[in-house]
Structure 1
Amino acid sequence: MISIVIPVLNEGATIRQVIKTIKKTSRPIEIIVVDDNSTDNTVDEALKERVRVITSSQRGKGISMREGMMAAKHDIIMYVDGDILTYPDALVELLTDAIVSGEADFTKSYFERQAGRVTQLVAKPLLSILFPELAHFNQPLSGMIAARRHMLQQVHFENDYGVDIGLLIDMHLMGAKIREVNIGRLENAMQTWEQLSKMSREVSRTILKKAESIPQQNLETLGNINIIREQMEYSILESIDKLQKMVIFNLDETIFRENYLYTAAVAFGQEEALVQILQHYSDPLSVLTRSAALFQGRNLAELLEVADGIPVTPDIRHVIRELKRRGYICGLITDGFECVANHMKNKLGADFAFANRMHLVHSVATGEITVPDYFLTGKNGNAQYCKSNILRYISEKYHIQSQNIIYVGNGETDAELLQDAGIGVAYHPQYVEAATVSDKVIEDNCMAPLLDIAQASPEKVRKRWPTKSQAVNIGLGGLAAIATAGLVYLAARQVSKAFRSSDDCDKKSLKPA
């Protein structure tokens, strides 16, 4: 069988057609779409074709390609771009026949196209001098390739425009049998001069680096990636800045029906170690740092596979879609890991996710974690974990007043958030306090009642519970208990199966606004 990996970034307009073309093959295949944190409807469109979608841990095509390889199940892996509508129906056969027959270990496509300035002016001249054996390739920068999995595991994926030429050179240096195949005429969008300038720099840097055995880690490259990511996040913020209302979901308490940390520990044979951590440590920071160490050596594909296996509130995607149609920003927060939160954000169609940052090197967990400032109170050695700080941070970041924010949670650590939000919604509350300080309670197994709540203003929705000044009178000791017990509760309460049934949601349909 063949694994076909499609790295995508904001390709909602084309991804379904690309997938449909690939499915025309007679070969048994699996299709994996690796989303590079798109801001459009790419994920929704890909899921309509019933393919596997994973979220890359960091922006950049090279990382998406490598993490797609990690998720792939088969020996032959094929990569295609997600923005080309003119692929031939026999694309899979054209790229993989030579590998299946044993005539090649690596195939690279060439095709007729409208232009190729960086190829002609940069790549080919440098190859002719430094790697003359590769100078005959028509399109060394082509991204439509296929290779044997065990060989891809040995190469380095550059994380910029140099990734495709880098793979070709690495395969050559490994002694792979390389075949160039013609896949016809393709049409794609012309690059701007700014993009071409950036491409030429990165392609030339990759070729020179491979030729001179320069260490693979390149601070300039990593710096450029971070700048690009920050600029993209800023543009996302600008695009939603005019919206005036928001819904925040606690991923652990209202969407996942099993606790991720515990489920992952079981999946990786670390259940006993996690239980010992929970028994010996009570403060969330200690639990977090020691729990993260249990996942050292696990790659991103494995971490996300656990998340994909956890049932979610059945109608949550529909509810989020409808809330966004009504003009709400929708986001997730979690005590868990950022890579998992971003993956679920994209799967569910949410706008943002805030979580703790698991350290990944080459997409493999180091066992270390960084807790962002928005989850901390105090400074330096006196810092303490306090999830309730996130509401103020989000309110300031998105320029939305807290009274225009709906927070949906259900656990002990949600009490302050339920109380401080404009509308606090307790979904199957697990503690009496969470129910009493909230403004609304959802007892249904599905999330559809939230749509009725979201139609009303906070003033109309608010119940006659004690005032916030009265409700907050739980004292510092109570707050400390909330902070220290939070993560222990999150994992321990999920030892058994999920406590809710999804049947009720299947029987209910969402009511239009």
Structure 2
Amino acid sequence: MRPDVHRWLRRRTYTATSWTAADLAAAKRAQGSTVSVVLPALDEEATVGAIVGVIRAGLVDRDPLVDEVVVVDSGSADRTAAVAAAAGARVVDTGTVLPSHGRVPGKGEALWKSLAATSGDLVVFVDADLVGFDPQYVVGLLGPLLTDPAIGYVKALYDRPLTTTEGIVPSGGGRVTELLARPLLNAFWPELSGFVQPLSGEYAGRRELLERVPFVSGYGVEFGLLIDLAGLAGVDALAQVDLGTRQHAHQSDAALGRMAGQILQTAMARRPGAGDPASQLLQFLRTTDGVEAVSWNVAVSERPPMTTVRAAASGGR
């Protein structure tokens, strides 16, 4: 493992249970900060209401950590908007935000427009399809931001139970992460290889930073934000928080292929222009003490065409 990544992992990896909502609410009040929680949503009526309700009950009504809960609807065909509003969220449609900029499809569009539709100094993004949502997710993501002014952006890390024909596997599920995003980061941005879940849909940041970087319209948004914010603020301004377990619906291989295609496009648009890709791949295992990093050498070599070997052996005849 690179020494800088090892230092970053020890310095910038936290556990959500390190903070309480009451303590962070007091810190927020002392700083005069405000917090917006944003849920980008498209046809999520089955889950969005429960998430909004949990946030409002625990982090608005009981401990005033969150100032506004906003669901940004990307044109749902179901009752997402009605369910979210009934649960206590302010619902905005992407088509009504910055209308002069038009409307393009994709999650990143909803996240980008949420910056124009919200006012919090700190913005927390939460996927609207989570099952068994825990308000401590929001607490954990806000913890580093409200206790360390040097931190500007916080990503979630977690276990993702994977439902298979043999039952639920307690860890795994991040197929695009393991097959594409992690190898890309390790090859071209190895300084960011310590992020356990680079594509996590739960993260938080300071508005002053989020408004200075572009947002990719589709599924490349998380990958693009990670690279761009590291370039803007430096890797040490980025952190990750262990939220424990996160569960949501899994997508088909075809859908994951489309997601991977958008992430690849995002990466290629940002790929460093010179030098060979790094040959180390950092992966992570869940242990009783948290997560353990394991480094692998994934360097490859190429053999020449056999015709050139034969030609060389025969003296070019």
TM-score (norm 2): 0.65
8 Å CA contact 1:86, 1:185 repeated in 2 = no
8 Å CA contact 2:52, 2:88 repeated in 1 = no
> What CA deviation, in whole Å up to 9, does each residue of 1:268-320 have, x standing for no partner?
xxxxxxxxxxxxxxxxxxxxxxxxxxxxxxxxxxxxxxxxxxxxxxxxxxxxx
Shift of 1:212: 4.5
1:53 is aligned, of 91, 101, 110, to 91
1:172 is aligned, of 215, 218, 230, to 230
Shift of 1:51: 2.0
> What CA deviation, in whole Å up to 9, does each residue of 1:62-119 have, x standing for no partner?
1110111111112100100001022223122100111112241000001101211111
Which letter maps to 1:55? Answer: D
Please identify which structure carries the higher strand content: 2
Aligned to 1:93: 139
Aligned to 1:390: none
Aligned to 1:29: 67
- Note the 1:366-405 alignment, pairs <5 A: none
8 Å CA contact 2:153, 2:204 repeated in 1 = yes
Which letter maps to 1:107? Answer: V
User: Is 2:184 the counterpart of 1:137?
Assistant: no
1:63 is aligned, of 101, 105, 109, to 109
Q: Secondary structure at the match of 1:174?
A: helix
- Note the 1:354-503 alignment, pairs <5 A: none
8 Å CA contact 1:104, 1:178 repeated in 2 = yes
Which letter maps to 1:124? Answer: R
8 Å CA contact 1:35, 1:55 repeated in 2 = yes
What is the CA–CA distance in structure 2 between the aligned matches of 1:211 and 1:64, rounded to whole Å?
25
Aligned to 2:208: 150
What is the CA–CA distance in structure 1 between the aligned matches of 2:70 and 2:107, rounded to whole Å?
14
> What CA deviation, in whole Å up to 9, does each residue of 1:402-447 have, x standing for no partner?
xxxxxxxxxxxxxxxxxxxxxxxxxxxxxxxxxxxxxxxxxxxxxx
8 Å CA contact 2:45, 2:79 repeated in 1 = yes
1:112 is aligned, of 159, 168, 182, to 159
> What CA deviation, in whole Å up to 9, does each residue of 1:456-483 have, x standing for no partner?
xxxxxxxxxxxxxxxxxxxxxxxxxxxx
Q: Secondary structure at the match of 2:142?
A: helix
- Note the 1:285-364 alignment, pairs <5 A: none
1:6 is aligned, of 11, 36, 39, to 39
User: Is 2:254 the counterpart of 1:194?
Assistant: yes
User: Is 2:185 the counterpart of 1:127?
Assistant: yes
> What CA deviation, in whole Å up to 9, does each residue of 1:166-213 have, x standing for no partner?
111111000240011011111111110101111111112211211248
8 Å CA contact 2:36, 2:123 repeated in 1 = yes
Which letter maps to 2:256? Answer: L
8 Å CA contact 2:219, 2:263 repeated in 1 = yes
- Note the 1:179-258 alignment, pairs <5 A: 179-212=239-272
What is the CA–CA distance in structure 1 between the aligned matches of 2:46 and 2:178, rounded to whole Å?
30
What is the CA–CA distance in structure 1 between the aligned matches of 2:150 and 2:243, rounded to whole Å?
18
What is the CA–CA distance in structure 1 between the aligned matches of 2:88 and 2:250, rounded to whole Å?
30
Instruction: Extract unaligned runs of 5+ from structure 2.
Output: 1-33, 96-102, 163-172, 274-317
Which letter maps to 1:11? Answer: E
4+ runs of 1 displaced by more than 3 Å?
none
What is the CA–CA distance in structure 2 between the aligned matches of 1:125 and 1:116, rounded to whole Å?
13
What is the CA–CA distance in structure 2 between the aligned matches of 1:200 and 1:34, rounded to whole Å?
24
Provide the alpha-carbon RMSD of the alignment: 1.3
What is the CA–CA distance in structure 1 between the aligned matches of 2:144 and 2:243, rounded to whole Å?
13
User: Is 2:85 the counterpart of 1:39?
Assistant: no
> What CA deviation, in whole Å up to 9, does each residue of 1:228-287 have, x standing for no partner?
xxxxxxxxxxxxxxxxxxxxxxxxxxxxxxxxxxxxxxxxxxxxxxxxxxxxxxxxxxxx
What is the CA–CA distance in structure 2 between the aligned matches of 1:200 and 1:61, rounded to whole Å?
14
Instruction: Extract unaligned runs of 5+ from structure 1.
Output: 214-513
8 Å CA contact 1:88, 1:183 repeated in 2 = no
Q: Report % sequence identity.
A: 32
User: Is 2:129 the counterpart of 1:83?
Assistant: yes
8 Å CA contact 1:85, 1:187 repeated in 2 = yes
8 Å CA contact 2:188, 2:272 repeated in 1 = no
What is the CA–CA distance in structure 2 between the aligned matches of 1:143 and 1:94, rounded to whole Å?
14
Q: Secondary structure at the match of 1:108?
A: strand
What is the CA–CA distance in structure 2 between the aligned matches of 1:133 and 1:93, rounded to whole Å?
27
